[in-house]
């Protein structure tokens, strides 16, 4: 059997290709869900932290540190295999969504917060001097500038965590990798894995290139 027969077998590709393409759909939906909830939650925590309630801030820092230190796969496994013991069975998709959102939330909060704190104090003082109260100052003056500063690290971190959607295959979500592994065991041929690698490249190679472009563009100020 030649190399091409086993790794790019046309018959197997035709048979399992559609499943991989369906898997791409699942990967994209999961990624979109994670990005939406993760970034929103991260921004929310950063805003809460800016209110400066000390006890609350300790709690936020702890939660952020927790999800930066524990591997995402451990969080997914805990939610999926652990929660049923408490009588709460989560669907694999929901477990992966929740886990990756928590991880992205933690990293995003840290990044947004860094942007807020590094903004020059004069911005606060000038807005207050113009008669704006804390809330409008924060939301109309500080936050828009802070978000602009942190776009490059935020984009890169979001890309990295979005690639974690492949971890969902561990909890039986039929995204690209999961679909490919099923294909391999059905056909006893590695072609589905080759297709999966190509599918990931099709999705993420443009994203990686855009990420690099964003970093270069924003760096020069």
Partner 1 sequence: MFADAFLNTEILWEAWPILLDGLGRTVLLSLMVVPLGLLGGLALALLSLTQRRTLRWFVAAWVDVFRALPPLVLLVVVYAGLPFAGLEVSAWQAVAIGFFLNTGAYYGEILRAGIASVPKGQMEAARSLGLSRPHALAFVVLPQAVRNVLPDLVSNTLEVVKLTSLAAVVALPELLFQARQAQSVTYNATPIVAAAVIYFLLLWPFVRMLSRLENRQLAARR
List interacting residues with partner 1 (CB under 8 A).
3, 6-7, 65-66, 68-75, 77-78, 81-83, 85-86, 110, 114, 117-118, 120, 160, 163-167, 169-170, 176-177, 180-181, 184, 189-190, 193-194, 196-197, 200-201, 204-205, 207-209, 212
The DSSP code for 51 is: T
- Least separation in angstroms between residue 54's CB and partner 1 is 18
Residue whose CB is less far from partner 1, 33 or 135 = 33
Does residue 53 come out as left (phi exceeding 0), alpha (psi in the -120 to 50 range) or beta?
beta
Residue whose CB is less far from partner 1, 48 or 83 = 83
CA atoms within 13 A on the CB side of 189: 21
Angle at 75 between CA 73 and CA 80, to 5 degrees: 95
The C-alpha torsion from 46 through 51 and 57 to 59, rounded to 10°, is -80
**Residue 110: which of 138, 69, 74 has the closest Cα?**
69
- Least separation in angstroms between residue 25's CB and partner 1 is 17
What distance in Å separates the CA atoms of residue 62 and residue 70, rounded to the nearest whole number?
12
- Least separation in angstroms between residue 131's CB and partner 1 is 26
Residue whose CB is less far from partner 1, 82 or 136 = 82
- Least separation in angstroms between residue 136's CB and partner 1 is 24
- Least separation in angstroms between residue 128's CB and partner 1 is 20
């Amino acid at each position: 059997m030649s190399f091409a027969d086993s790794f790019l077998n046309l018959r197997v590709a035709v048979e399992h290709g559609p499943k991989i393409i369906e898997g791409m759909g699942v990967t994209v939906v999961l990624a979109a869900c994670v990005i939406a909830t993760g970034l929103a939650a991260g921004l929310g925590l950063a805003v809460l932290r800016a209110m400066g309630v000390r006890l609350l801030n300790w709690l936020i820092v702890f939660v952020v540190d927790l999800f930066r230190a524990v591997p995402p796969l451990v969080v997914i496994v805990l939610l999926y295999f652990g929660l049923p013991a408490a009588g709460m069975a989560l669907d694999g998709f929901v477990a992966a969504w929740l886990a990756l959102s928590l991880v992205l939330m933690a990293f995003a909060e840290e990044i947004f917060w860094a942007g807020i704190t590094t903004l020059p104090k004069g911005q606060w003082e000038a807005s207050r001097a113009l008669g704006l109260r804390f809330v409008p100052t924060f939301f109309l003056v500080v936050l828009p500038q802070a978000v602009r500063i942190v776009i490059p690290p935020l984009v890169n971190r979001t890309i990295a965590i979005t690639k974690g959607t492949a971890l969902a295959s561990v909890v039986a979500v039929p995204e690209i990798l999961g679909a490919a592994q099923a294909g391999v065991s059905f056909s006893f041929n590695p072609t589905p894995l080759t297709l999966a690698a190509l599918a990931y490249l099709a999705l993420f190679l443009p994203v990686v290139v855009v990420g690099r472009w964003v970093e270069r563009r924003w760096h020069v100020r």
